Amino acid sequence: MALIIRNAHVYAPADLGTADVLMAGGRILAVGRDLSVSLPNLEEIDASGKILTPGFFDQHIHVNGGGGEGGFVSRCPELNLSELIAVGTTSIVGVCGTDFISRSIENLLAKVRALAIEGVSAWMYTSNYRFPGTSMSQSVAKDMFLVPECLGVKIALGDHRSSFPRPDEVLHLLSDIRLTGMITGKGGVLHVHMGDIPGIFEMFIKFQEGGFPIQHIRPTHCSRKRDIYESSLKFAKKGGYVDYTAGFSCNGSTANDILEAIDSGVDPTHITMSTDGHGSMPRFNDKGEMVGLTTGGVGGLLDTIRDLIANHSVPVEKALIFNTTNVADALSLKDQGRIEEGACANACLFNDSWELQEVVSKGRVMMRGGKVVVKGTFEE
C-alpha cells in the first residue's frame, strides 16, 4: 500500500521546510513540494501544521528482557511492540545483559525477528556481559557472518559483573569483529557496557595509538559516573563514538551530557543516545550487594529531544541527529534515521507542542491521532 504525507514541516533531520513525503513498498519514494502522484490504493495524510521527523533509532534495548541480578523474580519482562510505537521508536538493536544462562542469544534473535515481522526495523548484538563471548555458533565472528541481523558483539568492561578480560584478549576480539565486518560488509562494532571501574577508556585509546581503528569500539552508559563521563570526552575527541543512556546521567540530564560534550570540542556526529529499555536498573551498596531494582523505560529518546528543543533552545535539525542519522551512520545502516529518497519509510508526526500524533514504520501507519493502532501479537 502507498502512503503520501502532505504539507508537513519536514526535518530529514535537515530542515526541508514544508514538503510532501511519498512512501510505498516500505521505502521513501520521493520528498518534495506538491508531489503529483497517481497510485492505486494511495492513502493520504494531511499533515498541515505538523512536524515530520525520521523515526527514532534505539541501539541498546533489552527486547527479550534484562535483569536477573536479584534472583529468578528479578528477570525483566519482554518488550511489547506498542511500547516502541508510543514513543516514536521505529528502529532498534536488541541486546542481552547480565543473565547469560536463561536469556540465550537464540532467544534474543527470535525476539528481534518477531519485532521485525510485527513492524519495526530490528537488529541485534551477539553475546552479553561475558568473555569469552556467548554465541549461537560457538564463535561470535561466525554469528556476525551467519546472521544478517547481527551487527556486532556486546561485552561488559569495568563492571563488577563483567569477566575482566585482559587487554590483549579484548584487542583480539576487536580484530575478529573488524575482519568479519570486512567480509560481510557490516560496520562491525564491539558494543561495550561501561561499568564504574576506571581505566577502560584509557585502554581503548592505547589500542588506537597502537594502530587499531577506534570506530569499531562503541562504549555505552558513558555518563554513569563523572570520571567515566570525562574519560568518554577524551575518547570521543580521539575520533570515537560515545553513547549516553537517556535518562541516566551524572550531569543532571542526557541533554546536559550532550551539550557539555559538544562545548568541550566533541564532534556532534559522534554522539548517540539509547535507552537501555527493559534492562534492569539495580542499585548496589559498598559491599556489592543489590539493594534495589527497577526496569528501564523506552521513552528516553523522545524525552531528551523535547528537553534539548524546549529547555536548551537547540535547533530541531541539530537535536534530532543523536537518535537518527548519528546512530544509523555509526552502524553503517545508511537507509535508516533519515527522510530521503530510498530510505526506509520510518517517520514521526508531531504537533507544534511536540506531542506525538502519527508514527509510520516501514511504510505502515502504526499510530493515528496519538493512539497506537498496531500492536504486538499478544497485545490485542
Contact 272, 58 (CB under 8 A): no
Q: Give the Cα separation of 121 and 200 in Å (integer).
A: 32
Q: Give the Cα separation of 242 and 356 in Å (integer).
A: 27
Query: Which one of 257, 276, 307, 329 is the catalytic residue?
Result: 276
Q: Give the Cα separation of 156 and 165 in Å (integer).
A: 10
276 is catalytic: yes
CA-based end-to-end distance of the chain:
23
Rg of the chain in Å (alpha carbons): 20
Q: Read off the C-alpha cell for 379.
A: 497485545
Q: Find, among 8, 88, 16, the residue nearest to 52 by Cα.
A: 8
Q: Read off the C-alpha cell for 11.
A: 526535518
Residue showing cell 504525507: 5
Written as one string, the DSSP assignment of 286-299 is TTS-EEEEEE--S-
Q: Which residues are catalytic?
A: 276
